[in-house]
Structure 1
Amino acid sequence: MAKQTNGIISTLDMKRPGVKLLYWGLFAFMAAVSLVCLLPPLWIMLSSLKDVKEFFTIPPTIIPKTYDLSKVVSTWKLLDFGRLYWNTLIVTAGCLFFALTFNGLLGYFLSKLRPKGSAVVFGMVLWTMLLPNTLGMVPIFKNIIDFPVLHLNFSNTFWPMWMMAGANAFFVIVFKGFFDNIPQALIEAARMDGCSPLGIFRRIVLPLSKPVMMAVTIFTIHGTWSDFFWPYMVLKEKSLWTVIVAIYNMKGTTTLDIQFIALTFSIIPPAILFLFFQKYIMQGFTFSGIKG
């Protein structure tokens, strides 16, 4: 069998002119698409370093001729980005905990425990994905300011974002699809050894679930970091603002170049995270089983 060195294309196939032309054509196309996607954030980052005169020149320059690094420090101090990063980190950490714990448990419940009525529950989870997001905004906001039964007001707290992250239908489906590929024999063997359902989840399922957990982690962190609507609606006190809310509220009060620097500060953390953990995204969706 020919040794494969280029994914599904073997070394022998690469010697054929037609296959080689198709391969490099697709490669050039994907490189062009990647460049188009990278240009906007790169332009924002480079433009934020220009001095004021060059920033407003027509036509605009892509590569700065002059740099004004003092604006970076002044923007950091102006918006107090240390506090904004800390608030956003707290929101993100809570959302990550809720997303992994509660969505993972429900996916495990629907995949491996499957008691009576679980098919109905899964159908309801799927049904929620068919509803427009705007449909639930009014009742959700009403429950935030007057939580049912307890009659608590969760405005100006991070709890609403955390609880919404723990009820994500998409993550439940992803977890269930992954857990379906874990051999049932492992679950039955642990059950025969006297392990409880929660113990099976903690000792058997979770150690085998690194790919899907990393994928959900990346999506949760990226989504929470860039989330604007609910933090803007819930967090009215300036001391609780996240990065995105603070950048929105600075509109009209600062110059455009300062806003670009603030946007650069908001882009860097999720971009670094994605570069380090992007390989786990596809592993989380394509992991097809466990051999052994």
Structure 2
Amino acid sequence: MSTRTLIAPGRLARPGGKAAYRIVLGLVLLLFTLVFLGPLYWLASSGLKDAQEVIQTPPTLVPGSFTPGNYTRAWEVMDLATLLLNTLYYAFGALAFQLVLDVAAAYSLSKLRPVLGKAVLGMMLATLMIPATVLVVPQYLTVLDVPIVERNLLNSPWAIWLPSVTNAFNIFLLKRFFDSIPGELLHAASIDGAGPLRTLWSIVLPISRPILGVVSIFAVVGVWKDFLWPMLTLPDPTKQTLNVGIYSLSNGVPVNILIAALTIASLPTLVVFLLFQRNIMSGLTAGGLKG
């Protein structure tokens, strides 16, 4: 079976065809590389400049005043160690709740087939059409005075964890993957005496590692990059996340130190993506086709 390509093999075989193809491909790749990596380079290089060089016009591509001590100073002045630990605590707490509750919801919708399951899934997906900013006020009023228990959750990790638990997109991803698991496999487990929970724990979860990895990354990055909600619900400086803490401490800090702090704050998520990019792509495509 011949492989379909953008350019016909006959044109590539013409004199100069392969050379022209490689030149165009190289230029396109170079353009996209500059578009995506340019802002990251500017961020990292500006953290190595002094305050005067950062704001000068036109900007310099290569730092003329190479001062790597800006990163050490940013770590100390902005108290990034505390902010980083706070963010990790909130992120992995939200991850734990999402893995437990979202997996249970997706498994029940996919394999247990409850009454009105399709309607429930449809209503979940409909919430993705609602802008997040519309929900800020009702969520804040709920956190300010939780119904029934009448508790104020401000300055507590529950203010971050509870709104992130029911993630409709993650539930949809998990359900699509669970749908691709052969029913015969689960039926064989039930014949051996395994109940729904045992089947989920012993059979479904071990073969669902790709999609669980994707959901885990989405959960951690979702908390890591959030700004508005932590700023509203965590006014205590000792309990703030990385983004909110840097914003709160930015007044009076030189711009080069601030940029160095922002560079440090962006490094963990970039490292996670570079290490697990294959897992992310394989997890997103898993479950797209059955068989």
TM-score by length of 1: 0.90
Quick one: distance in 2 between partners of 1:29 and 1:113?
48
- Give, as a single letter, the amino acid of the residue that structure 2 aligns with 1:78: V
Q: Using a 3 Å threshold, how does the CA distance of structure 1 residues 206 and 14 change in structure 2: closer, same or farther? A: farther
CA gap of 1:49–1:208, structure 2 versus 1, over 3 A, is same
User: Is the counterpart of residue 16 in structure 1 residue 12 in structure 2?
Assistant: yes
Match of 1:281 in 2: 280
Q: Give how far 1:281 is off.
A: 1.8
63-72 vs 103-112, greater mean Cα deviation: 63-72
2:80 is matched with which residue? 81
Question: Deviation of residue 123 (structure 1)?
Answer: 1.5
Q: Distance in 2 between matches of 1:30 and 1:70?
A: 34
Question: Which moved further from structure 2: 273-282 or 18-27?
Answer: 18-27
Listed one character per residue, the Cα deviations across residues 141-200 of structure 1 (whole Å, up to 9, x for unaligned) are: 111011111111111011122122211111111111111111011111111211121111
Superposition pairs of residues 98-247 of structure 1, within 5 angstroms: 98-247=97-246
Q: What residue number does 1:51 align with?
A: 50
- CA gap of 1:14–1:166, structure 2 versus 1, over 3 A, is farther
Assess, with a 3 A threshold, how the Cα gap between structure 1 residues 100 and 31 changes in structure 2: closer, same or farther.
farther
- Distance verdict in 2 for CA 1:248–1:272, change over 3 Å: same
Q: Which amino acid aligns with 2:155?
A: N
In the superposition, relative to structure 1, how do residues 14 and 145 fare at CA in structure 2: closer, same or farther (>3 Å)?
A: farther
List runs of 5+ in structure 2 lacking aligned partners: none
Q: 1:286/1:22 Cα in 2 relative to 1: closer, same or farther (>3 Å)?
A: farther
- Report deviation, 1:71: 2.3
Q: How many Å separate the matches in 1 of 2:149 and 2:261?
A: 39
> How many residue pairs align between the two structures?
286
Cα offset, 1:240, TM superposition: 0.4
Aligned-partner residue type, residue 63 of structure 1: V
**Deviation, structure 1 residue 17:** 4.0
- Tell me which amino acid in the other structure corresponds to 1:166: V
Aligned mates of 1:24, 1:202 — CA distance in 2:
52
1:290 shift after superposition: 7.7
**Could you tell me which amino acid in structure 1 is paired with residue 170 of structure 2?**
F
Instruction: Provide TM-score, normalisation by structure 2.
Output: 0.90
Cα deviations by residue, 1:181-233 (Å, 9 ceiling, x for unpaired) = 11011111111211121111111111111111111122222221111111111
- The one-letter amino acid paired with 2:280 is I
Unaligned runs of at least 5 residues, structure 1: none
Deviation at 1:13, TM superposition (A): 4.8
Superposed CA offset, 1:227-277 (max 9, x none): 111111111111101110011112332121111011111111111111000
Task: Confirm or deny: 8 A CA contact 1:103 1:172 kept in the other structure.
Answer: yes
Matched-pair contact (CA < 8 Å) for 1:101–1:166: no
User: 1:76 corresponds to which letter in structure 2?
Assistant: W
* Separation in 2, partners of 1:169, 1:277: 23
Mapped to 2, the partners of 1:169 and 1:23 lie a distance apart of 43
Q: Quote how far apart the aligned CAs of 1:14 are.
A: 9.6
Aligned to 1:92: 91
**Equivalent residues of 1:47, 1:62 under 8 A apart:** no
| Equivalent residue letter for 1:92 | A
Give, in whole Å, the separation in 2 of the partners of 1:218 and 1:198.
Answer: 25
**Using the alignment, how far apart are the partners of 1:151 and 1:30 within structure 2?**
56
**Greater relative contact order structure (CA < 8 Å, 6+ sep):** 2
Pairing 1:254-273 to 2, within 5 Å after superposition: 254-273=253-272
